[in-house]
């Protein structure tokens, strides 16, 4: 990497571009770039062999050997004052470094991969948390139907904590495209007769997680070979979708290991 260039104007084209990515969750589709905010995401990206187009960091960060080494893994680097770095973040305590990376090429569905299907999930925090659980419990692919929060948006990336880089992420598809999956689809319902732990779960499989308020759509529910209940002895009516996902994906992993 060449010596970093110094940027002192908020109107610099690089900073203008990053601010667009921060402000608009879907801007990465139009601009062809994704903004990774903070050393944790940047390190996770680099650890998976990713090569950033651009590192942006504060002058203070450049004085820290670990962050300077991290920045050196990008094709180029820019040093900005702390106040300009703050304008590239929505956090109260902006991170000292970020990466600008090329928007990943949208893959096609892998038919036999252990999969999580997201049906119109709206909350970016839920989506990112589900990606973390998918990665942790051995699911290789996440398929997001149209209407789901943008997978590479800053909020989903932050909630995913680096899980993005170990998963095959397919987004923006119609429900009919799920016909390409050859794994059995599973869903949950509080009204199902059988509980999650009472059946032999197939592997590989696809867990279907529905909209926070409306649940899984009726046509998609009909595609599922099993609908199971998560026991809730405490008496709550339902779980948050990210919590339900963690329970379901864990049970699949537990049965597979056992």
Query: β-strands 33-37, 206-210: how paired?
Result: unpaired
pLDDT at 105 over 70: yes
191 versus 136: the higher-pLDDT residue is 136
DSSP per position, 160-194: HTTGGGGSEEEEEE-GGGGGG--SPEEEE-TT-SS
Q: What percent of the chain has pLDDT over 70?
A: 98
Which whole number is the average pLDDT over 159-174? 96
Residue bearing the bigger pLDDT, 236 or 20: 20
Length of the chain counted residue by residue: 258
Please say whether the beta carbons of 58 and 89 come within 8 A. no
User: Looking at the predicted structure, is the pLDDT value of residue 124 above 80?
Assistant: yes
Confidence of residue 2 (pLDDT cuts 50, 70, 90): low
pLDDT value for 183 = 98
- What integer pLDDT is reported at residue 233 of this predicted model? 77
22-37 pLDDT tens trace: 999 999 999 999 999 9
* Domains in the chain: ranges and CATH: 5-102 (3.30.1330.30), 115-257 (3.40.1280.10)
Pairing of strands 54-58, 97-102: antiparallel
Residue 76 pLDDT exceeds 70: yes
pLDDT tens string 212-237: 888 889 999 999 999 999 988 776 66
The answer to whether residue 116 scores a pLDDT higher than 70 is yes
**Which helix or strand (DSSP H or E) is residue 23 part of?**
helix 13-23
pLDDT at 236: 67
Model pTM?
0.93
Q: What is the pLDDT of residue 33?
A: 98
Q: Is the pLDDT of residue 90 over 90?
A: no
Please list the residues that pair with 101 across neighbouring strands: 34
């Amino acid at each position: 990497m060449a010596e970093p260039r110094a940027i002192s104007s908020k109107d610099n084209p690089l900073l203008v571009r990053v601010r667009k990515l921060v402000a608009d969750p879907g801007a990465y589709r139009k601009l062809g770039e994704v903004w990774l905010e903070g050393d944790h995401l940047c390190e996770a990206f680099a650890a998976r062999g990713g090569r950033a187009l651009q590192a942006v960091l504060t002058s203070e960060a450049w004085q820290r050997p670990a962050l300077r080494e991290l920045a050196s893994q990008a094709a180029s680097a820019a040093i900005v004052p702390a106040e300009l770095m703050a304008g590239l973040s929505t956090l109260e305590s902006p991170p000292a470094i970020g990466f600008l990376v090329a928007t990943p090429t949208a893959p096609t569905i892998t038919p036999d991969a252990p999969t999580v299907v997201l049906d119109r999930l709206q909350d970016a925090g839920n989506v990112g948390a589900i990606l973390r659980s998918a990665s942790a419990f051995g699911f290789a692919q996440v398929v997001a139907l149209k209407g789901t929060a943008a997978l590479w948006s800053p909020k989903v990336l932050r909630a995913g904590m680096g899980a993005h880089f170990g998963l095959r992420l397919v987004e923006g598809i119609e429900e009919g495209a799920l016909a390409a999956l050859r794994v059995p689809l599973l869903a949950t319902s509080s009204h199902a007769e059988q509980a999650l732990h009472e059946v032999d779960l197939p592997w590989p499989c696809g867990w279907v997680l529905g909209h926070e308020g409306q649940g899984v759509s009726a046509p998609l529910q009909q595609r599922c070979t099993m609908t199971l209940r998560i026991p809730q002895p405490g008496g709550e009516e339902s779980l948050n979708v990210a919590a339900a996902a963690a329970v379901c994906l864990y049970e699949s992993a537990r049965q597979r290991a056992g």
